[in-house]
Amino acid sequence: MNSVKKAEVQVIKVGGKIVEDPTALMHLLDQFKKVPGYKVLVHGGGRSATKIAAQMGVETKMVDGRRVTDESMLQVVTMVYGGLVNKSIVSKLQSVGVNAIGITGADMNLVQAHKRPVQEVDYGFVGDIDKVDVTVLSPLLLQGVVPVIAPLTHDGHGSMLNTNADTIAAEVAKALAADYQVQLVYCFELSGVMRDPEDAATVIPIINKESFEQLVTDEIVVGGMIPKIQNALQAVEAGVDKVRITKAGDLADPQKGTYVV
């Protein structure tokens, strides 16, 4: 019996450092335009939130690189992620001929989460994802519209929640994998996972579970790259076809970057 080939979707996550640099952002969006087929963009924006918070007199508190989101900071991130950053990206996509719509996890009940339980640290209104309803994305994709997702979810009881953009991208990719052939792409300022962070020629082309464990043991993969690759491996195990970690400027070149398989 012939199996029906699934349509392809790329879920592309771009970090705040790229989003918040106007030149880097426009270069990324020019690359994004060249990516064929259906695509979804998930963005960060933490530096913008920190900057606007300071202007509003709201103190930024970080624990192990993670933002503590009290009621005042929740208002800031909702405005900045869901408004300022999201709509800026959408308007710039329109300027390069990509029809896009900006949404949060609350829109169309896309991503529902619960407030992270208090353990050693009270992160406040930070969300851990419960469910993703990607059926609402398919009609947009079929119309040729690119969903641009801000890193915000909701709890189903009227509260927005600040949620990690890498995690949202991975969970959206996993959910789409039931109906599509999905590639998840994390793009940022480096050329991929590198043996020497100063040398782009040392990009590791392929990482699997075994080689990842060895790279961590050898302290080649350290810091924030560890959870990023853990997210990637979990996504592949959950049905995502492949995950690519690459430089934003190389987004349209599938030969560049590191593939997690």
CA 40 vs CA 5, 31, 137: distances in Å: 20, 14, 9
Place domain 8-260 in its CATH homologous superfamily.
Acetylglutamate kinase-like (3.40.1160.10)
Neighbouring CB atoms inside 10 A of 247's CB total 20
pLDDT digits (tens, 9 = 90+) for 25-36: 999 999 999 999
Pair type for strands 61-63 and 127-132? unpaired
Length of the chain: 261
What is the largest distance, in Å, between two alpha-carbon atoms of the chain?
Answer: 64
Each domain of the chain, given as residue ranges in start order, spans 8-260
List, in order, residues 6 or more apart from 175 with CB less than 8 Å away: 132, 133, 134
DSSP 59: P
pLDDT at 91: 97
pLDDT digits (tens, 9 = 90+) for 194-213: 999 889 899 999 999 999 99
The conformational region for residue 174 under phi > 0 = left, psi -120 to 50 = alpha, else beta, is alpha
pLDDT digits (tens, 9 = 90+) for 114-149: 999 999 999 999 999 999 999 999 999 999 999 999
pTM here is 0.94
